[in-house]
Amino acid sequence: MKIIKVADSTEMSKTAGEMIAEKVRANPEIVLGLATGGTPVGTYQYLIEDHRKKGTSYSRVSSVNLDEYIGLPKTDPNSYYSFMKTNLFDHLDINPEQTFIPDGSAADLEEECANYERKIAALGGVDLQLLGIGRNGHIAFNEPGTPFESRTHVISLAEDTIKDNARFFSSPEEVPTKAITMGIATILESKEIILLATGKSKAEALYSLVKGEVTEDFPASILQRHGNVTIIADEDALSLI
């Protein structure tokens, strides 16, 4: 694992944004795996700025998102569909039909999971996957205990995750309790992974990710077995390493 230590979240966003924009310019048909949450927002702002100023084009890029809540309509401002439109897609020249997010409102969720796997395979897999990390070690919404061989599936969110994500809702009761998430095996098939983290609240998680035992109790630990992972994190998040 390569670790890039930066001063703060501004520098993290710039470093990650530069890396991603560079890869898009080198491979205009790249398949990007994208994350939501607080951590990647600055990176997305960098990509938007870079698109405006340097003209990096996304017209032939495809994207697949890691996860989506179950039980929120797409139009809900807290759905990851809305998040991606607001924070990224609406500001790039990406073709909306080439952006994929699991449908958390699908009538048949199992079928939707299988379809999502088929979509990723039809795209030829993910070239570059962007990840955040939960304090409990989740990647995407693969909570502790999720089998390493899991593929896209329905998951019940951990109490900690619901508490952490309540900051985006008016009350914790409004946070959906279930989601569709890419599985660990799905994520591990990405050719390259960039994981972002900032702040002291992620320091223990980063310690376990880099130095801990590889165990399903801490899903992110499996990244130790992937050959092409870059962690870009600030000094606070790396303070225990």
Q: Which residues are catalytic?
A: 67, 136, 138, 143
d(CA 95, CA 228): 28
* 67 is an interface residue for ligand F6R by CB under 6 A: yes
Least separation in angstroms between CB 53 and ligand F6R: 26
Residue length of the chain: 241
Binding range to ligand F6R, per CB under 6 A, among 37-45, 70-78, 86-94, 106-114: 37-45
Which of 9, 39, 62, 129 contacts ligand F6R by CB under 6 A? Answer: 39
Binding range to ligand F6R, per CB under 6 A, among 11-19, 34-42, 70-78, 210-218: 34-42
Any residues with CB less than 8 A from the CB of 168 and at least 6 apart, and which? 78, 175
| Cα angle: 34, vertex 191, 95; to 5 degrees | 40
* 139 is an interface residue for ligand F6R by CB under 6 A: yes
Q: Which 8-state DSSP code applies to residue 201?
A: G
Binding range to ligand F6R, per CB under 6 A, among 10-18, 104-112, 132-140, 152-160: 132-140
Q: Give whichever of 133 and 233 is closer to ligand F6R, judged by the CB atom.
A: 133
Q: Are 157 and 176 in contact (CB under 8 A)?
A: yes
Least separation in angstroms between CB 134 and ligand F6R: 4
d(CA 206, CA 195): 10
Structure tokens at 99: 């952006």
* 104 is an interface residue for ligand F6R by CB under 6 A: no
* 140 is an interface residue for ligand F6R by CB under 6 A: yes
d(CA 210, CA 218): 11
Which of 5, 18, 23, 38 contacts ligand F6R by CB under 6 A? Answer: 38
Dump strand ranges (E) for 66-116: 67-69, 99-100
Q: Give whichever of 25 and 189 is closer to ligand F6R, judged by the CB atom.
A: 189
d(CA 142, CA 35): 13
* 219 is an interface residue for ligand F6R by CB under 6 A: no
Contact positions vs ligand F6R (CB under 6 A): 35-39, 66-67, 132-134, 138-141
